[in-house]
Amino acid sequence: GKYRVIKKISVSRYHKALLINYPNDEDRRNFIRAKKKGLIPAGARIGGLIEIHGGGKDSMTYGCIAMDNNAIDYIFSLVPVGTKVTIVGAVDYENGLSSAIEGL
């Protein structure tokens, strides 16, 4: 999906974080459509508070995008609020995208 950074959090449970505007209007439309088609349970909720963040103490994430603390430090210093973010889905470690960003 296509999102924007809506807040920079310089101190968080996960070191530093960039909050994105999930769910956006397209996410809400797709969620409603999937519910109507029975593709997801009727009682399911869309969620929210998705961040791009560092590892924190336990290196866990609850649906967010996690990276090591050095990477989020670097990105955090470059990215202003309003920056466009495109999420392309999960990737395994043996692909071109992972190799390209490995040095961050």
Q: What is the pLDDT of residue 94?
A: 64
Residues of the chain with pLDDT > 70, as a percent, come to 80
Least confident range from 14-28, 50-64, 85-99: namely 85-99
Q: What is the pLDDT of residue 61?
A: 73
Domain ranges of the chain: 2-101
Q: What is the pLDDT of residue 83?
A: 98
CA-CA-CA-CA torsion sign (87, 67, 20, 46): positive
Which has the closest alpha carbon to 4: 18, 103, 38? 18
Which has the closest alpha carbon to 53: 100, 99, 4, 9? 9
Long-range contacts of 24-32 (CB under 8 A, 24+ apart): 26/1, 26/2, 27/1
pLDDT, mean of residues 73-98: 82
Q: Is the pLDDT of residue 8 over 60?
A: yes
Q: Which residues pair with 5 in a beta bridge?
A: 20
Which has the closest alpha carbon to 44: 53, 36, 54, 56? 36
Q: Which residues pair with 84 in a beta bridge?
A: 4
Condensed to tens digits (0 to 9), the pLDDT of residues 33-70 reads 999 999 988 899 999 999 999 986 665 677 888 888 99
Q: What is the pLDDT of residue 99?
A: 61
Longest Cα–Cα distance in the chain:
43
Arithmetic mean of pLDDT over the chain: 86
CA pair distance 40, 54, nearest whole angstrom:
30
